[in-house]
Structure 1
Amino acid sequence: MAWTDFTRPQYARRLRYASDLTDREWSLIAPFMPPPRRLGRPRKTDMREVVNALLYI
């Protein structure tokens, strides 16, 4: 199927890697990520980057 002017912007990805999540994809996954804990050190790791790394592998 050839790209059309209508569908091309929908699939245009200007990310570092082809496997990186778009904002729309991340909004669907983010609610399932564990929340930061109330006690202890604050979270320094960006959970979106963790998911991007797993998808890259």
Structure 2
Amino acid sequence: MTWTEITRCQHDRRELRYASDCTDTEWALIELLMPRPSKVGRPRKTCMRSVWDAIQYIATTGCQWAL
């Protein structure tokens, strides 16, 4: 597959904090698969998008010290 001007823009990750972070479009699809907050117990304080981004970071980099 070769990069075209259209596909290059669609996959641009320069505005993200890390290259492994998900875009808003990707998160819209992934968010549907995340567990909903429980109606009992403490309210959730953790942002599920941050959890997903952390998982993707570890899966991508293997937790290298240089990164």
TM-score bracket for the superposition, by shorter chain length? 0.7 to 0.9
After superposition, give the CA deviation of every residue in 1:1-57 in whole Å (9 maximum; x if it has no partner): 664433332122210000000011111111111100001111000001001000000
Structure 1: 5+ residue runs without aligned partners? none
Work out the percentage of aligned pairs sharing the same amino acid: 60
List, as ranges, runs of 4+ consecutive aligned residues in structure 1 with deviation greater than 3 Å.
1-5
Count of residues in Structure 1 that have an aligned counterpart in Structure 2: 57
Structure 2: 5+ residue runs without aligned partners? 59-67
3-state SS of 2:21 partner: coil
Aligned pairs for 1:16-55 (under 5 A) are: 16-55=17-56
Equivalence for 2:10: 10
3-state SS of 1:25 partner: helix
Q: Normalising to structure 1: TM-score of the pair? A: 0.84
Relative contact order (C-alpha < 8 Å, sep 6+): which is higher? 1
